[in-house]
Amino acid sequence: MKSCGKWEYNMDTACVEMKQPDGTVIAIDTLAVESEFVETWLDRRELDYLIYNDPDAYAELVLNGDVKKYLETVRQGQ
């Protein structure tokens, strides 16, 4: 899924958010994603890195349903 804006992490809401031109905000609850997919502290570290350093990539993973596959790939590389 291609987004039409830039995603940013909002510390106040613990969400990765994108504001649409019409003022609508799309938000991804990072705590809910972690609850669903994180199995180890290493998984949390990987997702946190994306949240803070590349929220666009994080949002793409979540919206495309690739979080589990991404974490499995990372685990195999460790």
Facing residues of 16 across strands? 9, 28
- The whole-number pLDDT of residue 1 equals 46
Distances (CA, A) of 18 to 3, 47, 50, 70, 77: 9, 18, 15, 22, 31
Does this model's pTM top 0.75? My answer is: yes
Sheet with strand 25-29: strands edge to edge: 8-10, 15-19, 25-29
- Cα separation of 44 and 24, whole Å? 29
3-state secondary structure of 39: coil
- The whole-number pLDDT of residue 76 equals 86
Reported as a single tens digit per residue, the pLDDT across 32-57 is 999 999 999 999 999 999 999 999 99
